[in-house]
Amino acid sequence: MSDNLLFAEEISENTPKDQLGKHKPWKVAVVDDEEQVHSVTKLVLRNFAFDGRGLELLHVYSAKEAIQLFRDQDDIAICLLDVVMETDSAGLDVVSQIRDDLHNSYTRIVLRTGQPGQAPEENVIKNYDINDYKDKTELTNLKLHTLVYSCLRAYRDIISLNQTRKGLEQVIHASNNVFHHRFTGEFSKGILLQFSSLMQFDDHAVYAVEDGFTAHSDKCGLKIIEGIGKYSHSLGEYLENILPKDILQKLKEQDTPFMSIHSDSCFLASNITDNKESQRNVLYLKKLGEPSTLQKKLLDVFSNNVLTAFQNLYLLEDIEKAQREMVYLLAEAVESRSKETGFHLQRVAELSLLLAGGLGLDKDLKLKIYRSSPLHDLGKIAISDNILNKPDKLTAEEFEIMKTHSQIGHDMILKSERELCQTGRIIALEHHERWDGTGYPNGKKGEEISIEGRIVAVADVFDALSCKRCYKDAWQLDDVFTYMKENSASQFDPQVIETLTTLEADIRKIYDQYRD
């Protein structure tokens, strides 16, 4: 059996004649050194059909040829096998090869011999894994038909069971692979890719996995999130402009959480959460052939599974989005008190993201830093107006009070287990630590300071210098870069400053874009 997923060919016994050509014939190997046996077998089995499929006789004349035939082809249903050929037991060697060396336990093997005394029936059946044993003279027209029928029926059922088992294993495997993805975009691609491995068929593709998409509802309707093949350029398009009317109608009428459509041209699965149209996800694949009942069931199980997970990811993204909005609202409320309006928070976030990227941090950490950097000065909420907005230099005493904003910001979000808050409180605590250990609040040094803290420290000072504060004027960007470089390895992590230097062009773009 090949490693590809094979599904059962569940073709009913009364498949219309005109579809016969569509299905492969059953392969029957005739292994015999007497030409006459071949011609008689051919004659007797002409016009034979089972399950709407005819026979393909494969004629070989020795054990050696037979072994080669079974090496080359793993989908032979029956082997009608002569015992005495090159040697007295050549046929029995073929049985050992098929079963033990090729590990083929599917082919139905029937021994045929002209010399019944040569290989005692009982002994052979016991010692060799064969399915039947016939005297050549027994194989009259009717008996051979009956034998081939029963062998094919057994072969079909064995293959079918095996394919069902493999199909279910594949569904579980595919689902697990898909669940690894965290973001809906990647997840959609994962679904479509897994479908392609799920749909590797024996001889013909039932679904065109090269054409398909996933869709998610927004205010205006169902929109394509990810597409492959023909739909790879359809991202953002609405399904009402793409799908045929009858399918759209069925989608409208959906009254169960999960629905699948196996139409002539496609497979479509749709799930709705809480009967809310705004929470619908769709999976679509173009169809080529006619799937079996088993294939349909497996597709339903798989798509129901992944669409539910898909929905959960959307809900999580909603939560994360709400959280990001909260972070900004909170940070902006603080910022507005100190009259440092404008784009300070956005620029610090963009700078931090650039630096994190330039330092090669992984995507997850980059995003966390980007999203939680606005929390760095949260603690300033506790600093009184007369200090916070003092137009002059702070006294030493006032500066001591000002310095408490790091610890206060950290403590304010200490209790939150949200990821953004966990990163946010580290940044709040450490954004005024210095590489040489002379910063505050804890005088941490070098890599004792988290990479998040070291990055935001650079971004925060860079932006504080480049724009106007109540106590200072804006600096020219050239002067800011000079200051940053001069304080590399004393105030700042030298690696972060090196990265800042290489990113000068991108940084200037940020300052063009977010001008106060």
Which of ligand SIN, Fe ion, ligand C2E, none is residue 37 near (CB under 5 to 8 Å by kind)? none
* Residues of span 162-221 touching ligand SIN by CB under 6 A: 172-173, 176-177
Q: How far is 248 from 270, CA to CA, in rounded Å?
A: 11
500 belongs to the binding site for ligand C2E (CB under 6 A): no
430 belongs to the binding site for Fe ion (CB under 5 A): no
Query: Are 331 and 412 spatial neighbours (Cβ–Cβ below 8 Å)?
Result: no
- Kindly state the smallest distance separating residue 416's Cβ from ligand SIN, in Å: 9
SS3 of residue 69 by DSSP: helix
Query: Are 328 and 370 spatial neighbours (Cβ–Cβ below 8 Å)?
Result: no
Name which of 93 and 340 has its Cβ closer to Fe ion.
340
320 belongs to the binding site for ligand SIN (CB under 6 A): yes
Strands 280-287 and 207-218: antiparallel
464 belongs to the binding site for ligand C2E (CB under 6 A): yes
Which alpha helices (H) appear in 120-140, and where do they start and end?
A: 121-127
SS3 of residue 222 by DSSP: strand
335 belongs to the binding site for Fe ion (CB under 5 A): no
| Catalytic-role residue among 366, 368, 380, 444 | 380
One of 32, 93, 335, 377 touching Fe ion (CB under 5 A):
377
One of 63, 208, 298, 465 touching ligand C2E (CB under 6 A):
465
> Side chain identity at 243, as an amino acid letter?
L
- Kindly state the smallest distance separating residue 410's Cβ from ligand SIN, in Å: 6
Q: How far is 199 from 207, CA to CA, in rounded Å?
A: 7
Query: Are 56 and 76 spatial neighbours (Cβ–Cβ below 8 Å)?
Result: no
Q: In what order do the strands lie in the sheet with 76-82?
A: 55-60, 26-31, 76-82, 108-113, 132-135
- Kindly state the smallest distance separating residue 428's Cβ from ligand SIN, in Å: 9
Which of ligand SIN, ligand C2E, Fe ion, none is residue 320 near (CB under 5 to 8 Å by kind)? ligand SIN
Query: Are 39 and 59 spatial neighbours (Cβ–Cβ below 8 Å)?
Result: no
Which value, to the nearest 10 degrees, does the dihedral of the CA atoms of residues 185, 191, 197, 199 take? Answer: -130
End-to-end CA distance of the chain: 68
340 belongs to the binding site for Fe ion (CB under 5 A): no
Give the DSSP H or E segment for 326.
Answer: helix 293-337
315 belongs to the binding site for ligand SIN (CB under 6 A): no
472 is catalytic: no
226 belongs to the binding site for Fe ion (CB under 5 A): no
DSSP 205: -
- Kindly state the smallest distance separating residue 429's Cβ from ligand SIN, in Å: 5
DSSP 488: B
Which of ligand C2E, Fe ion, ligand SIN, none is residue 426 near (CB under 5 to 8 Å by kind)? ligand SIN
145 belongs to the binding site for ligand C2E (CB under 6 A): no
Only one residue has tokens 């008689």, namely 40
Contact letters (x/-) for ligand SIN, 414-453, by CB under 6 A? ----xxx-x--xx--x--------------------x---
* Signed CA dihedral, 264, 266, 271, 276: sign only: negative
One of 460, 481, 488, 511 touching Fe ion (CB under 5 A):
460
Contacting residues toward Fe ion, per CB under 5 A? 377, 460
Residues noted as catalytic: 380
Contacting residues toward ligand SIN, per CB under 6 A? 172-173, 176-177, 319-320, 323, 418-420, 422, 425-426, 429, 450
Contacting residues toward ligand C2E, per CB under 6 A? 390, 393-394, 402, 432, 460-461, 464-465, 469-472
